[in-house]
Homo-oligomer: A and B are copies of this chain.
Amino acid sequence: MKRIKMADHRVSCGRDFFCVPDLAGALRNATNGGFDFISVPICHPRYRREFLDPVPNRTGAFTRSDWTNFEFVSDWNSLIVGKTSPWLNLDSPNETVRKNSEQALHQELCYSVHLSLPAVLVPLKSYNCANLAHHINTSITDTHVQQVWVHVSMKSPEDEYDKHLFEDEDEVTANKLEKDPWEWWNLFRTICANSRKVGLALEISAELPSEEELERWCGEPVKAAMLSTSLFLTNKSGYPVLPKAHQALLKKLFRLNTQLILTGVNKYKDKGLGFYYQYLAHLYQTQPDLDNVSQFAKGYEDYLQCPLQPLMDNLESQTYEIFERDPIKYRQYQKAVYEALLDRVPEDKKDSVVTVIMVVGAGRGPLVRASLTAGEETGRKVRVYAVEKNPNAVVTLETLKEEEWNGDVAVVSSDMREWDAPEQADILVSELLGSFGDNELSPECLDGAQRFLKDDGISIPCEYTSFLAPVSAPKLHYEVSQSNADTSKGPLAPFETPYVVRLHNVTVLAAPQPCFIFTHPNRADRIDNSRVKSLEFEVKTCFTLHGFSGYFETILYKDVTLSIRPETHSEGMFSWFPFFFPIKEPQYVTAGSTVACHFWRKCTTKKVWYEWCMSRPAPVPLHNPGGRSYVIGL
C-alpha cells in the first residue's frame, strides 16, 4: 500500500467509481486528474451470482477479467481500493439472502486478497450488523486481507429528516442505537475487538453533527474520509470549494493521516475533476505548521511507552540529552531559583550571605547550570551541591565542573536518601516529576532529602498535582491488548499498567480534574504518601470509555509553574507526554451519564503502585490490586 499510504508533504486523495465499464481507463483518467488511487466495485454488477438456489452449476468467471489488464503501470493493484457489492445483507432475516451474502462476501474478499488490494471498502448500513462483523473478523484473521475500511455515514439520513418532527422522548431513546451511525460503527469495531485491520471510511455529511460528535469521530481510526462532490460550493471564480466547517473538519482529519475519497458526479463538466483534487491539495498545503511539541512528538503519536523507573534503573545518556533540550523547563527552573534567591537574600546582604543550593538528582547538570545562572543574574553568592546517584552521569558532572562551571560547585555521587550532607541547604532543587506528577517517586525522594534542608528552606518544586480525565481510545486499547507484557505477571498485566503516551487519535471526554496533591517540604509528624481519590465526570455524548489520561501541574516557586494539563500546558515544553491508565474492558457509556472512578496511590517501604476501579455508570473491578501487575520500586 505504498502509494496509498500518505506521504506527509501532500494530500492522498482517491476517486470513487460507482460502476466501471473500463477499469484501466478509469484508473488512467483518475491519475491524470491528479488522484492517487481509485475505489471500484470488486465484482461487476452485470455478473449475477447465485450460491444456493438454484445450485450453482455455472461455467465462466464470476466477474470480468479486465482486473489484470493494466500494461501501463506495474503496481496498479496498489492503486485500487475494492468495494464489496452493495446488495450484500449478511444480517437479513431471510436465510437465503443471508447465506448468499455470506458466500458472495467471502468470494469478493478472496478475490481482493488474490489481487493484493491494499484495502476493501465495506458499507455499514444499520445497527443490525453482528453477522457482517463476525464474517469480517473471520476474514481479517484467516486471510491476508490487508485492511477493511468500514464505510459509515457521519449522520444517518433519517436523522436529518427526523429531528424536524416531534417525537416521543422514549421512542428516541429506544431507537438511538438504530439511528446513530456511530453506534453501528462502535458495535462493529467492538465485535472485532478494535482490530488494527478494521478502519473507518467516514462519509462526511452536508450538515455536520455537533462539536462533541465530531470530536468523537476524530477519536476513531478514520482511514478515509468520503467526500461527495455535492458538498462543494462554487466560489466567485467558479471553482469548487468546501464550506468553512468542512474545511476545519478536514484539517483535523489530516492530522490523523486520513486519506480522502471523492464520490459523486462532477458538477463542472467544462472544468474536469482535477479542480476538486487541486482544491483539496491546496487545503492540505495550507495547514498551519506543527507547534514545537507536535514536531518533537512526530512519530510517537499513540505509541505506548512504559513509564521510566529512574530510581531502579539508571537513565541512559541519550534520555538525559533529549530532556535537556527542552526550551521551557529549565528556563522556568532558573526563574524559580532566581525568585527564591531574591526572596531569601536581601540586596544589602548579597555579598555576605552564601545560599546553599542542593540539586538532588542532578543528572548531567542542567539544574546546576540553571542555579549558577540564577546566582549570577541576582548577584547572590551560591554554593551548589550536585547530588546524583547515577555514577555514569557523575562522570559528566565532574567534567562540567572542571571545564565549564565557574563557581562553588561540589559533585556528590550518592543517593539523596542516604547522603550525609556536610551542611544544611537553603534551597533544594529537583526534577523528579513524571507525567503523572508523583509517579517517579518524587514524594519519597524529597521526603528522604529534606533532612538536610533548613527549617525555613525552600523546595523547588514546592507542590504538584496530578490530573485525570476519561478518554475514548480504541486504538490504544487494542495496542494494550496486543502488548507483550511480562508473562510471569499474568494475562491482565498489560491492562493494569499505566503508560506514557503522546495521545493523538483519542477523544478526551471531560475536562481533567485534580487527583493527588503533594507539597514539599513535608513537615507532618508522620508522613503518609498514600492517597485515595474519587472523581466524577459528566459526559454529554454516548461513547466507549477505554481508560483515563493523566497529567500534572507543578508550582516550582510562587507563580513559576510547569504544566502538561492541556488547559494550562506550558507552551513549547515537550519533556512529558501524558499518562494513560487503561481499563480492562471498554465501557459503553450513554449520553448524560456520570463516570465515577477511584484511584489509589499505595506505598510500602519497598514500592509504590496505583490501583483503580470505577463505580459509575457501572462497576468495574479493581485494577492492579496489591501491585500485582505494576509497581514502582523504591
> Which of A's residues lie within 8 Å of B, judged by CB?
52, 55, 91, 98-99, 127, 130-131, 133-134, 137-138, 141-142, 177, 186-187, 190-193, 490-492, 525-526, 528, 532, 534, 544, 584-585, 587-588, 598, 600, 611, 613, 615-622, 625-626
Contact = CB atoms under 8 A, between A and B. Distances in A.
Contact of A137 (B52, B91, B99, B625): B625
A618 B588 contact: yes
A622 B137 contact: yes
19 contacts: A55-B526, A130-B534, A130-B598, A130-B613, A131-B534, A134-B598, A134-B622, A137-B625, A141-B625, A141-B626, A142-B626, A186-B619, A187-B619, A190-B621, A191-B620, A191-B621, A193-B625, A585-B585, A588-B618
Centre residue among A186, A526, A619 by max chain B CB count within 10 A:
A619
A615 B130 contact: yes
Contacts of A613: 130, 133-134, 191
Contacts of A544: 619
Nearest to A532: B131
A213 B97 CA distance: 43
Centre residue among A134, A142, A534, A626 by max chain B CB count within 10 A:
A134
B177 A138 contact: no
Contacts of A598: 130-131, 134
A366 B339 CA distance: 95
Given A52-B526, A131-B600, A584-B585, 16 more contacts: A91-B534, A127-B615, A130-B534, A130-B598, A131-B598, A133-B613, A134-B600, A134-B622, A137-B622, A191-B613, A191-B615, A491-B492, A544-B619, A585-B585, A588-B618, A588-B619
Contact of A490 (B491, B534, B615, B619): B491
A141 B525 CA distance: 30
Nearest to A625: B137
A616 B177 contact: yes
A618 B544 CA distance: 9
Contacts of A618: 587-588
Nearest to A493: B491
Contact of A193 (B98, B528, B616, B622): B622
Given A187-B619, A622-B137, A98 B588 contact: no
A499 to B, nearest CB: 19
Contacts of A134: 532, 598, 600, 611, 613, 622, 625
A134 B177 CA distance: 35
A27 to B, nearest CB: 35
A137 B588 CA distance: 26
A535 to B, nearest CB: 11
A130 B191 CA distance: 30
Centre residue among A52, A190, A492, A611 by max chain B CB count within 10 A:
A190
A600 B134 CA distance: 9
Centre residue among A131, A138, A532, A587 by max chain B CB count within 10 A:
A532
A634 B153 CA distance: 43
Contacts of A526: 52, 55
Which 3 pairs from chain A and chain B are nearest by CB? A491-B491, A588-B618, A190-B619
Nearest to A490: B491
Contacts of A177: 616
Contact of A621 (B193, B611, B622): B193
A310 B563 CA distance: 64
Contacts of A528: 99
Contacts of A588: 617-619
Nearest to A187: B619
A131 B615 CA distance: 11
Contact of A622 (B127, B133, B142, B532): B133
A525 B55 contact: yes
A187 B587 CA distance: 15
Contacts of A626: 138, 141-142
A260 to B, nearest CB: 29
Nearest to A611: B134
A523 to B, nearest CB: 14
A201 to B, nearest CB: 20
A626 B625 CA distance: 33
A621 B187 contact: no
A374 to B, nearest CB: 37
A186 B614 CA distance: 12
Nearest to A587: B618
Nearest to A141: B626
A625 B98 contact: no
A442 to B, nearest CB: 21
A600 B127 CA distance: 18
A439 to B, nearest CB: 19
B525 A192 contact: no
Contacts of A491: 490-492
Centre residue among A525, A526, A613, A616 by max chain B CB count within 10 A:
A613
A619 B191 contact: yes
Contacts of A620: 190-191
A468 to B, nearest CB: 15
A126 to B, nearest CB: 11
A621 to B, nearest CB: 4
Contacts of A492: 491
Contacts of A585: 584-585
A622 B621 CA distance: 21
